[in-house]
Amino acid sequence: MDILAKMPYGKDFLLVDKIQDVNDELIKGSYKFSLDASFYKDHFPGNPITPGVFLIESAAQIGLVAFGIYLLRNKLNENQSGKPKIAFTSSEIDFLQPALQGEEIFVEAQKIYFRFQKLKVSFKIRNAADQILATGKLAGMFNTNYKSNE
């Protein structure tokens, strides 16, 4: 299954470049922020850092959406071109240090539980130097009763 092809985002909002590993208990993925992303100009001018909201979104896309798609692989109809819907339900985030302009981040999420199509994970975001940038928990609900929008 091509997980990234099932992601419910357009190319300009997909904050996942690669899934390095996935199984029934964990997922690992990465995303490299563009050096010239428009938000760097005004987010701490002169000392730009990646906004926390983008770190959370990347962690949610990898740790919830991509992981949920993998966990739901037997329920998803491979012949259907539609994409599952997800509702983000909760988050707990501790930011430990900033992600610098253009930095690649690595997200690892471990399943806490997955039942009744609700997924809860604990996650860590690291940089290329293996420093932990953020940790936390995320949860979301999936709806697989979808129709193709295409």
CB 127 within 8 A of CB 104: yes
Q: From the candidates 43, 117, 127, 141, give the one annotated as an active-site residue.
A: 43
43 in catalytic set: yes
**Residues 130, 150: Cα–Cα separation, whole Å:** 40
Query: 117 by DSSP, 3-state: which?
Result: coil
CB 54 within 8 A of CB 33: yes
Query: 54 by DSSP, 3-state: which?
Result: helix
Cβ within 8 Å of residue 17, ≥6 positions away:
29, 30, 31, 32
Q: Which residues form the catalytic set?
A: 43
